[in-house]
Amino acid sequence: MMEWLLANIGTILITLFLILTVAAVVRSLIRDKKQGKSICGGNCAHCKMCAACHKVRAEAKNKTV
């Protein structure tokens, strides 16, 4: 078992790093979604979700006012 671990340590470390990176990105996206932040680029002319995006923004403004 120890020989296999030593022979594959590079692959194991890179895999763990990639898993942790993807988990951090997903966690950040979920946190932003819960806070009402958008990853929208701001070009609503070509966006099919324009109404949904602006609905969230309008609701957020009404709550703060």
pLDDT digits 0-9 by tens, 3-34: 999 999 999 999 999 999 999 999 998 998 88
**What pLDDT, on the 0 to 100 scale, is given for residue 53?**
64
- Per the confidence metrics, is the pTM higher than 0.75? no
The answer to whether the CB of 39 falls within 8 A of the CB of 32 is yes
What is the CA 10 to chain-centroid distance, rounded?
27
The DSSP-derived string for 13-62 is HHHHHHHHHHHHHHHHHHHHHHTT-----S-GGG-TTHHHHHHHHHHHHH
- Please say if the pLDDT value at position 58 is more than 60: no
Q: Can you give the length of the chain in residues?
A: 65
